[in-house]
Structure 1
Amino acid sequence: MTSGDGGRGTGRRAVLRAAAAGVLLGAAGCSSGGAPRAASTTSGTAAPQSGETTPAPARTPTPTPTQSQAPAQPQTPTPPQTPSPTALPNPPLWQPGPGEIQPDVKRRAVELVAALGAWPPGGQGVEAARSRVAALGLPTGLADQAGPLAPAAAEASLEVIDAQYGGILADSASVLVVCRQWTRASDGSVAEGGTTVDVRLSRAEPRWTVTALHPAEPGAAAASPGAAVAGVLAQPRIELPPAAAADLRSGAVHDSVLTAMLRLAGPYSLTVSVVRSGHPLDVFGTTRPSDHPLGRAFDVWRIDGRAVVDPATPRQLIESFMRDAAAAGSYNVGGPLAIAGAGNQFFTDDTHHDHVHVGFDH
């Protein structure tokens, strides 16, 4: 081979190597699908050069869910809270204690007054009252005689302060049920009041029955109560139930009664049951007018915190009080004790075994 042949062979090999390199470069410019990418014809955008790949968009890491990243739950609006009304007082039902004469007669009267003077929400009205009376086995028409014991109110509660005899005979009785009452109006407001009810009963089996009700009617308050009235109402040693206090404010109580109350309040504390209203018009079982409706008498059922009817109350305390009532001007003092005195100034009977009556003739 001449040197000329050697030059041509070298050039040929160079050409072959260049062609092989072109094939390899073309293969590098293909996608995984084997087809080369087409050049872009969009104006202003350069087509990728042979051998380049289009960069994949950067991946945003998916955050691990945490409590703070949990989807917000829809919130149910909380309705405004309406404050619950304050419950009315709920005193226990009065029960006769030791020393009572015919205790179930008083209990019968108290049960009726409590049924008429207290009811839960929705229990107002005459028809509901009749149902409560019927449940006691008593005539439903008594509900129509309740008067101030059944005011127009959405709810009511009642406390029986005392039950004393206005009279007790073999087959008939009068029980004076002295009450304090709380009522709630439809607007939620609460008022305190009370009355005294003269409950009439007659003997029956198995229990006495009620024949009539006579609630107290104190009358309207006077425009300007006298000094004696103001003095009694302000005296802490004289305890008056609602109807008795209303009697004083009406101006229909004689000064003799007021003066005696204030005088007795010196050595004693006295709890009054009845003054004028809520008492029988006549002395029970007679046609003789009572001093009470005339505003000339008052009854005391507790002295120095001791019930007159309680056998444990010292007899000396009761006798001392009766004598001092006479000294305060009373012409007619009745109680559980027979006390010697001038004329008929003192007396005792079954009706007055549970209180002291203090009466005046002017």
Structure 2
Amino acid sequence: MALGSWRTGEQGAAAARRRVSALGLDPGLVGQAGPLLASADEAVLRVVDAQYGGILADAASVLVVCRQWTRRAGAVTAGGTTVDVRLSRAIPRWAVTALHPARPGPAVSSLPPAARKVLDDSRIGLPPAARADVRSGHIHTSVLEAMLRLADTYRMNLSVIRSGHPLDVFGTSRPSDHPRGLAFDVWQINGRSVVDSATPRRLIESFMRDAAAVGSYNVGGPELPSGAGAGQFFSDPTHHDHVHVGFRS
């Protein structure tokens, strides 16, 4: 928030460093803010969702999904991004060590039909970086078609598709499916947050089973579906707050 929101007269890197320092954080993080520190007279940032990209005993990745509104010469522009925030264990609290904003790439002039349908489907909530991922043409058709089939049954809000996610499965050297355009994460199903203990388990289990049924080989969530064995499903602390849906191709 300190990096992405400011009033008139408080724009620019120097002012951002002062805001970050006032929070007891490293002002050097300002140099990693990327699109959050846009050239604008004013800005307001809202965090849509924050989920784990990975959690270990002494390090973590938190994927912060943001929307941002900037004002230049009276004109307001809506935007935003997803930032992979890296943390390390420290006392009295975990310390932010690095920021990795999403880099979706430019939009292509011609998209496959499935991509256009995903962008137009009101039942598929796409934050700014995820929408830019689809527009970039780098998301596999299998992933797009799976989203559309799931949207026949569910309203879902996605957090991450391709950009803004760690390149490797956190804490390993194994490439993640996300940067290859072969996975997406869902943080909210039918208006219910996956992380909320009040969300019915049957809803999350149903979504996970249906994600497997539309072709995902690797469905992760807060718990294994009842009766599920090893194979398509997994659960771990990283996925207590979202459902991961991955594809081979």
Range class of TM-score, shorter chain: over 0.9
Which structure 1 residue ranges, 5 or more long, are not aligned?
1-113
Residue number in structure 2 paired with 1:178: 65
Higher RCO, 1 or 2 (CA under 8 Å, sep at least 6)? 2
Give the counterpart of 2:50 among 150, 160, 163. 163
TM-score, normalising length from structure 2?
0.98
Q: Show structure 2 runs of 5+ residues with no match.
A: none
1:307 paired residue among 193, 196, 208: 193
Q: 1:352 Cα deviation (Å)?
A: 0.1
Residue 245 of structure 2 aligns to a residue whose secondary structure is strand
* Percentage identity across paired residues of the two chains: 69
Report the equivalent of 2:115. 229
| Cross-structure match for 2:215 | 329
Q: Could you say which residue in structure 1 is the equivalent of 2:99?
A: 213
By how many angstroms is 1:211 displaced?
A: 0.5
Provide the C-alpha distance between the structure 2 equivalents of 1:210 and 1:232, rounded to a whole number of angstroms.
Answer: 34
Cα deviation, 1:243-282, whole Å, max 9, x if unaligned, reads 0000000000000110000000011110000000000000
**Alignment partners' CA distance in 1, 2:24 and 2:120:** 43
Matched, 1:135 2:31: no
Write the deviation string for residues 34-83 of structure 1: whole angstroms up to 9, x where unpaired.
xxxxxxxxxxxxxxxxxxxxxxxxxxxxxxxxxxxxxxxxxxxxxxxxxx
Tell which structure's C-alpha radius of gyration is larger: 1
Residues 1:338 and 2:229 aligned together: no
**Cα distance, 1:344 vs structure 2:** 2.1
CA distance in structure 2 between the partners assigned to 1:342 and 1:317 by the alignment? 19
Matches within 5 A, 1:1-362: 114-185=1-72, 187-339=73-225, 340-341=227-228, 343-362=230-249
Displacement, 1:341? 3.7
Whole-angstrom distance in 1 between the partners of 2:22 and 2:235: 37
Structure 2 CA distance, aligned partners of 1:155 and 1:198?
24
**Following the alignment from structure 2 to structure 1, what is the Cα–Cα distance between the partners of residues 228 and 93?**
39
Q: Which residue type is aligned with residue 291 of structure 1?
A: D
CA distance in 2, matches of 1:138, 1:204: 12
Q: In structure 2, the residue corresponding to 1:324 is in which secondary structure?
A: helix
CA distance in 1, matches of 2:140, 2:207: 21
By how many angstroms is 1:343 displaced?
A: 4.2
Letter in 2 for 1:306: R
Matched to 1:286, the amino acid is: T
- Greater fraction strand: 2
Deviations 1:114-166 (A, max 9, x none): 11011111111111010011011111100010001111111100110000000
- CA–CA separation in structure 2 for the residues paired with 1:317 and 1:236: 20
Tell me what 1:107 maps to.
none
Structure 1: distance between partners of 2:141 and 2:235? 25
Q: What is the TM-score when the length of structure 1 is the normalising length?
A: 0.68
